[in-house]
Amino acid sequence: MELRHIKYFLKLADELSFVRAAEKLFISQPPLSRQIKELETEIGAQLFERNNKRVILTEAGKFYEKEMREVLKNIERINIKTKKISENQSGEFRIAYVSSTFSGDISKLLQFLTEKYPFVNFRLYEVPTVKQIAALEEGKIDLGIIRAPLYSSKIDSQLWFKDSFSIVFNRNKYSITTEEELEKLKEATFVFFNKDYAPYFYDVLLQICAQYGFEPKVVHESNNISSIIQLVKNGLGISIVPTAIMKNYNYPELEYVEIKRRFLFTHILLATPKGNQSEIAQTAIEFLKKDTSNL
């Protein structure tokens, strides 16, 4: 079996037409039919049912398609890792982070890595946790800074820091001095992360409000912590944000009140593809963790 057999099979599984699949593969139909027949003969299973009217996957073919797509992903990951080893700490290193982490620490990390590895092209992306997990599993990013929970057997992770939540509001519009006063805000307008962008974080924020006996009136949603803070700063609502971000958004118009209930915490994780923690990734993680006490 050769790799081209798998690629031909998957293209036919996509198109379910020998004519269309052959066109997409830039070959004629007879060689494609021959390659598929060779593959079926080698593995001893019929993968397609075909006649003059249709081509469909058999049950064996459906299983084979699912498994082979995973095999190709692994081959791509192995090729990427091999290329990095060959480049000997040159080339590209990709870091992704969620917008609600402290960007000052990310900037210092990038400066440190650039000085230590001058021949590496570092790329920085702001990406939500859900998309980061998919990219880490496929080896498309080398280090992810994500928000827990993480459920993936294809990713290694360790805790960077544990963060509490804080109420943030425009001090000229609202007056809150303790977290218990949050229950007085039942009629207030709230600004939250978009549910589709950060579903877990959104649910946690709803749970916090539920602890104080109300469901928030969410009028504004955003995909970015900077936008949320700007809306709050302009007096367009109240929000609940990770406490650490106040280091980066400490405007005179804003007031932060920390929610100190023990069970209301969020965990920031440093994540790498499973078994693929390079020297640069380890160096980056050590740099970030040594400053955890300052967060």
Domain around 124: 88-160+267-294
Contact (CB, 8 A) for 149 and 113: no
Based on the domain organization, do 271 and 247 belong to the same domain? no
Based on the domain organization, do 77 and 61 belong to the same domain? yes
**Rounded average pLDDT over 102-117:** 87
> How far apart are the C-alpha atoms of 39 and 36, rounded to whole Å?
5
Based on the domain organization, do 261 and 271 belong to the same domain? no
Based on the domain organization, do 255 and 280 belong to the same domain? no
> How far apart are the C-alpha atoms of 268 and 288, rounded to whole Å?
11
CATH number at residue 31: 1.10.10.10
Max avg pLDDT among 52-61, 228-237, 271-280: 228-237
> How far apart are the C-alpha atoms of 266 and 165, rounded to whole Å?
8
Main-chain dihedrals φ then ψ at residue 106, nearest 5 degrees:
-65, -40
> How far apart are the C-alpha atoms of 81 and 79, rounded to whole Å?
5
Joined tokens for residue 129: 């946790």
With a cut of 70, say whether residue 291 has pLDDT above it: no
- Band of residue 128 on the pLDDT scale cut at 50, 70, 90: confident
What's the number of domains the chain is made of?
3
pTM over 0.95, yes/no: no
How do 217-222 and 189-193 pair as beta strands? parallel
β-sheet bridge partners, residue 49: 56
CATH number at residue 151: 3.40.190.10
Based on the domain organization, do 50 and 110 belong to the same domain? no
Based on the domain organization, do 73 and 203 belong to the same domain? no
